[in-house]
Amino acid sequence: MKLVILDRDGVINEDSESYIRSPGEWRPIPGSLAAIAKLTQAGYHVVVATNQSGIGRGLFEMATLNAIHERMHRAVSQAGGRIDAVFYCPHAQEADCECRKPRPGLLKEIAHRFNTSLEDVPAIGDALRDLQAAAAVGARPMLVLTGKGRATRRAGGLPDRTEIHADLASAVASLTGRQ
C-alpha cells in the first residue's frame, strides 16, 4: 500500500500562533490542495496526523475541529484529491500522553488501523516533533519550509535521512515524479 502521512497546520494550511479556531481561519497554503490531488492520482492513501491541543486547552470544541476538518476535506475534494483519514491528538502538552507528537503513538495508531508497517513511509511536517515521530517508527521524515519549517531547519537537530523541500508541492513532486 502506498501511504503518506501529512501534518496539517503549516503543511496543508497556514499555521497560526493562536491556533486555527474556526473553519473560517483554515486557509490552504498555495499549491497544497493540488499536491494532495497529485498524491491521490498517484495511488497514495493520504493520512493527516496532527496535534490539536486547542481542544485540551479549551480553546475550541470537538464540533469546531470536525467543522475545520470538513472544510479541509471539501477543499481537497474540489481540487481532485482525497484525505483518507485524520488522526489527531486533542491533549495539551502537559497531559504527557503517548499520542502527542514527538511521541510516536499517533503514527503507531495509523500503522495499526491501516494494518501496515510505516517503514520508509513518507511523513511530511514542518516541525521537529513531526520529524521525530516519523523517525521513531522508521518512516521517511520530510521537512517542508512552510509554517514553522524554516525555523525548524535553522534550529538543527533534524533526524537522520530528513529530506528538505520548499513546500508540500515540492515534496509531492519528489515522491510522484510529477511537477
Residues catalogued as catalytic: 7, 9
> If 0-12 CB within 10 Å is exposed, 13-18 middle and 19+ buried, where does residue 74 land?
exposed
Q: Is the dihedral of CA 37, 147, 49, 167 positive or negative?
A: positive
**Residue carrying C-alpha cell 514553522:** 148
Closest CA to 8 of 72, 75, 79: 72
Contacts of 79 (CB under 8 A, 6+ apart): 33, 34, 36, 37
- Single-letter amino acid, residue 116: T
